[in-house]
Structure 1
Amino acid sequence: MTSSNILTTHGDDDKNKQMEHDGTAVIQQQVANDMNDDTREPDQAYLRAPKRLRWFRGTLFQMFLFGLLSFSGPAMSDAIDNLGGGGLATPYTANAANSANYATACAMTLFGGPLINKMGIKWSCIIAATFFPIQGASYYVNSKYGTQWFVIFVGAIGGFFGGLLYVAESTAMLSYPQPHQRGKYIGIWVSMRNSGQLLGGAISLGVNVKTAGVGAVSITTYLIFIVLECLGLPGALLLSPTSKVRQTDGRPVPLAAPQSWKIETKLLLKHIVHKRTLLMFFPAFYSFFYGGVYTTYLSLHFSVRARALSSFLYPLVTIMLCTAFGRLIDNKRWSQKTRAWIGFAFWAVPQAAVFIWTAILYAQFEKHNLKGIDYTNNTADWFRCYLPYLIIQSTGYACQLYLYWLLGCFSSDVKSSARTGGLFRCFETAGQAISHGINSRTSDKRVPLYINIGIYCLMVPTLTMLIRMVPSNPQTYDDVTEEKAVEAVNETQETMAVEARGL
């Protein structure tokens, strides 16, 4: 080899090493920027823009739009479900449909993080919103023609669309608000979702107020719900792409660099086995498990108009409770960890009392064969039997608000939040699927209650360990994001090495 060839080879090696070093440094700097909110400079063009545009791109308006989506989609579904068994004469078809829905949603949300990262939050919501009216239509068809298979079929395929919405809104809840506004903004979302149920409950009560006996609700109820479910699509179309969303100080939402499907899959697998994810399983699984247990309880033991009143009353209480709760956990007088403990006690203690109360009531139901409980015939019995339902439903939403807030304490970029939110909703919908599944049979209804109590007992110690990991003050560093940094650097090094060998 000549001296000139030797010099050329060494020069190429030096050049390749420099390229590799520079590329790695760029990625490392990008990841450092993603981990540190302080490096995200306020968008001066946004701050100089007209007030209407700032409002349109701001996180607060985005939260209102997510609230509208929840209002017209999940809230209307919940309003139907809160009639007790979907308003049908018996709860078993509705429970089977809900079980199928949450089972497919569980499968969808498991891989929801990578899907949302590729499709984007806005388009995921648009796709999900197109399906909203079909679910209400399935209950209408069943009520009018007795077509039970259609309710179950729509429930099953609806899980895929609902799963997209679950992960999209979870991602936004975890990453859009600033730390000191998280409780407030999530509270807005929860309140708007319950305002949908409140409106649905008012409609149900107005249509069914004269029906004192047991049985199905008026078929007109479903037609009104279908109209309201059509509002979701316009709301989804108004959402801003995540890259254009701005926080109150003008900073963009923290975004990480796009990843390949291979890297997204690897990061998802790392997320699944992460300690925090494993600790999150039982709290998420538990959070809405009560749904199947207590809607069946309502359907079997209360009159039609008492169920209609419930669908109006409990969202009203929930809105007030969650609004106050959101402000409580945003209170800066206490450290973040102290607020985590206070928030936990806020909903966990009343729910423990409700389980004991309900177990006593079930023994009385069995002894006296109580059915068709109505608020006009025996107000004392109605209040005594309905109050535990009201408490579990309202504190159930406080529980979910709290879990979103808690996961947001380990804040990171949007893509990491998508994986966290997807797995959270995966665990949550798994609990809902099993809850409605075991309540779709005519067995002793005390058994699902005892299972619910057992899951509560498993939830408490795991959530306690998760709370102990909460930093005393808000932070943006996330060790799962650090894993992404390592993966990104390794991927870049491998790519540059291949390109260098080809020079």
Structure 2
Amino acid sequence: MSAEKDIDITNAPDQVPPAEAFATTEKSWMYKPIRIGPWTGPWFASPEFQLVLVSFVCFMCPGMFNALNGLGAGGQIDPHDVDNANTALYSTFAVVGFFAGSIANRIGLKLTLSLGGVGYFLYAASLLSYNHNQNVGFLIFAGALLGICAGLLWCAQGAVMMSYPLESQKGTFIAVFWVIFNLGGVIGSLVPLGQNLHSTAGQVSDGTYIGFMVLMAFGFILAWGLSDSKYIKRKDGSRVITMKHPTWFSEIKGLFETLRTDLYIVWLFPMFLASNWFTTYHFNSVNGAYFNIRTRSLNNLLYWVCQMIGAFVFGMLLDLKYLSRPTRAKLNLFLLFALTMGIWGGGYSFQTTYTRASIHDATKTDFDDSNYIGPMFLYMFYGFYDAAFQTCAYWFMGALTNNGRKLANFAGFYKGIQSAGGAITWRMDANNIEFIPQLGICWGLLAGSLLIASPVIFLKIKEHVNIEDDLKFSDASFNEVAPTVLAGDRHDEKQP
């Protein structure tokens, strides 16, 4: 039964395909709402449930990794070997991430996410090992393996977050994910804070790494609970645009087809590159260089709390009901640019107060010191900005298409290019590049990338995405596309 025959796309997004179109994929238990007492929740194969599940996988795996890395130097005294491990991590992440969309479309999001969770546990284990034997080889190998795994995990996450919701819910979905994911950073930050609250040393304890390993193992197990995309049903009865049985050849061809049919995405590449460029500077050049271990742990906690706030604020702004979608896109681009100039301008003022040479033998700042409050608030604003920038980047991509296959490629481009930037910045830090040039490159790249992306934001984001254009994507004919409709806005919602 072909999609072209069964679905009249001219009335999309308001037309729901007939129920018999999905008869081969229905599993009734997946569509029974979860009931706990008087509360009725979403069904298992709903976008909402799947988003929360993916969010908690990221809570346990990359959330804990972020909390660990946010300590500066992975909790070690000397950042050099950890910098090299992170260079290996982001180098493999960049390569795998760029092609991860093709892998995810071929093997499915469930297997992609599950494979992606493996490397986080091993990375924490390598830091625990390094605490005792300084095994640099194991540390760098674990970093490289984590890059491969992270490329897969983040591609699956991006595809779920951007392709599963209705158009009117995309900002909310991104915000919910980012809040839950960064809650992992918050909870993860409590582990080293509790372990090191009374320590003024520069290195975290074994118990910190063991705590992270346990949480990461839970995340890997949880990843196997994800449903396949073909079973997902939204509240209005619509499905996710996906492929039935793509081949490896069609997927690699589809990757480059994305660049041909959607060449405008190249204008977002500088934004992708900038989106994690500043992470090394935040974690090592500010938190790791300026503060002692217990203060780094506290800063780490505040950083991830502000990430949650930033994601929530911008997620809500991006879904404002009384503004058109193009207006919301332009408004948030302007706000992001204003934050870039304000926060990083304040960062420049702070950075002029110390250098690598001056901080090397100096006593690290403690949260009991009188000069702590100003840098604390700056670091909190850095966390807020990180979430705001990435929330907007994901929303901009999600506003350009609703095609799950295309969005998997977009997510792959995003994480691959983002990670290439990460590899460069961790290597720069390992080579002891001075702090002021690091900050200047971060600031200039962020502001410049927003200006370069502005033509796409102003001209390509429309009130709704044309479903016919989405279905025509790639070398696939309509007969290859699973029966589906656009993630549109319906008012006559139907319960399954």
Tell whether 2:297 aligns with 1:315.
no
C-alpha contact (below 8 Å) 2:86/2:143 kept by paired residues: yes
Distance in structure 1 (CA, Å) of the matches to 2:356 and 2:181:
38
Tell whether 2:17 aligns with 1:41.
yes
Q: Measured at CA, do residues 239 and 27 of structure 1 come closer, stay the same or move farther in structure 2, by a change above 3 Å?
A: closer
Counterpart in 1 of 2:486? none
Which deviates more from structure 2 when the two are superposed, residues 397-406 or residues 318-327?
318-327
Aligned mate of 1:264, from 251, 258, 276: 251
Tell whether 2:247 aligns with 1:251.
no
Q: Measured at CA, do residues 481 and 96 of structure 1 come closer, stay the same or move farther in structure 2, by a change above 3 Å?
A: farther
Mapping of residues 50-65 of structure 1, within 5 Å: 50-52=32-34, 55-65=43-53
Counterpart in 2 of 1:196? 184
Instruction: Give unmatched runs, 5+ long, in structure 1.
Output: 1-22, 493-503
Distance in structure 2 (CA, Å) of the matches to 1:178 and 1:456:
29
- What is the letter of the counterpart of residue 325 of structure 2? Q
Counterpart in 2 of 1:17? none
Which deviates more from structure 2 when the two are superposed, residues 352-361 or residues 432-441?
352-361
* CA offsets 1:410-453 (integer angstroms, 9 cap, x no match): 12321121111111111111111112121112232222222222
Aligned residues: CA RMSD: 2.8
Distance in structure 2 (CA, Å) of the matches to 1:172 and 1:424:
14
Distance in structure 2 (CA, Å) of the matches to 1:110 and 1:219:
35
Distance in structure 2 (CA, Å) of the matches to 1:489 and 1:193:
36
Partner of 1:364, secondary structure, is coil
Distance in structure 2 (CA, Å) of the matches to 1:91 and 1:42:
58
C-alpha contact (below 8 Å) 2:241/2:471 kept by paired residues: no
Partner of 1:111, secondary structure, is helix
Aligned mate of 2:265, from 251, 263, 277: 277
Mapping of residues 452-471 of structure 1, within 5 Å: 452-471=442-461
Mapping of residues 12-91 of structure 1, within 5 Å: 33=9, 36-41=12-17, 49-52=31-34, 55-91=43-79
Counterpart in 2 of 1:374? 365
Q: Measured at CA, do residues 240 and 487 of structure 1 come closer, stay the same or move farther in structure 2, by a change above 3 Å?
A: closer
Partner of 1:38, secondary structure, is coil
* CA offsets 1:300-343 (integer angstroms, 9 cap, x no match): 11111110101211212221231232112111111111111222
Aligned-pair CA distance for 1:470: 3.6
Distance in structure 1 (CA, Å) of the matches to 2:275 and 2:10:
30
Q: Measured at CA, do residues 90 and 263 of structure 1 come closer, stay the same or move farther in structure 2, by a change above 3 Å?
A: same
- Of all paired residues, the percent bearing the same amino acid is 23
Mapping of residues 357-368 of structure 1, within 5 Å: 357-366=346-355
C-alpha contact (below 8 Å) 1:207/1:220 kept by paired residues: yes
Counterpart in 1 of 2:492? none
Q: Measured at CA, do residues 98 and 247 of structure 1 come closer, stay the same or move farther in structure 2, by a change above 3 Å?
A: same
* CA offsets 1:453-473 (integer angstroms, 9 cap, x no match): 231243022121121124341
C-alpha contact (below 8 Å) 2:355/2:434 kept by paired residues: no
Counterpart in 2 of 1:342? 331
Mapping of residues 286-325 of structure 1, within 5 Å: 286-297=274-285, 298-325=287-314
Distance in structure 1 (CA, Å) of the matches to 2:154 and 2:304:
20
Aligned mate of 2:124, from 109, 120, 136: 136
* CA offsets 1:20-66 (integer angstroms, 9 cap, x no match): xxx9xx57558975994434437597699532395211111101111
Aligned-pair CA distance for 1:489: 7.7
TM-score (norm 2): 0.87
Distance in structure 1 (CA, Å) of the matches to 2:364 and 2:75:
16
* CA offsets 1:41-96 (integer angstroms, 9 cap, x no match): 37597699532395211111101111111111111111100011111002222222
Tell whether 2:216 aligns with 1:216.
no
Tell whether 2:111 aligns with 1:123.
yes
Aligned-pair CA distance for 1:100: 1.0
Aligned mate of 1:110, from 98, 119, 133: 98
Counterpart in 2 of 1:94? 82
Q: Measured at CA, do residues 410 and 375 of structure 1 come closer, stay the same or move farther in structure 2, by a change above 3 Å?
A: same
- What is the letter of the counterpart of residue 232 of structure 1? G
Mapping of residues 156-171 of structure 1, within 5 Å: 156-171=144-159
Distance in structure 2 (CA, Å) of the matches to 1:414 and 1:207:
43
C-alpha contact (below 8 Å) 1:122/1:236 kept by paired residues: yes
Tell whether 2:229 aligns with 1:242.
yes
Dislocated runs of 4+, deviation >6 Å: 44-48, 489-492
Instruction: Give unmatched runs, 5+ long, in structure 2.
Output: 21-25, 36-41, 482-496
- What is the letter of the counterpart of residue 133 of structure 1? F
- What is the letter of the counterpart of residue 68 of structure 1? F
- What is the letter of the counterpart of residue 342 of structure 1? L
Counterpart in 1 of 2:38? none
Please tell me whether Structure 1 or Structure 2 has the larger radius of gyration of its CA atoms: 1
Aligned mate of 2:161, from 155, 159, 173: 173
* CA offsets 1:224-256 (integer angstroms, 9 cap, x no match): 000000111232121111111111223222224
Aligned-pair CA distance for 1:155: 0.4
Distance in structure 2 (CA, Å) of the matches to 1:428 and 1:32:
39
Distance in structure 2 (CA, Å) of the matches to 1:30 and 1:440:
58
Q: Measured at CA, do residues 241 and 368 of structure 1 come closer, stay the same or move farther in structure 2, by a change above 3 Å?
A: closer
C-alpha contact (below 8 Å) 2:16/2:236 kept by paired residues: no
Distance in structure 2 (CA, Å) of the matches to 1:488 and 1:404:
28
Counterpart in 1 of 2:489? none
Distance in structure 1 (CA, Å) of the matches to 2:278 and 2:464:
31
Tell whether 2:217 aligns with 1:230.
yes
C-alpha contact (below 8 Å) 1:217/1:304 kept by paired residues: yes
Q: Measured at CA, do residues 34 and 365 of structure 1 come closer, stay the same or move farther in structure 2, by a change above 3 Å?
A: farther
Distance in structure 1 (CA, Å) of the matches to 2:132 and 2:480:
58
Distance in structure 1 (CA, Å) of the matches to 2:9 and 2:226:
26
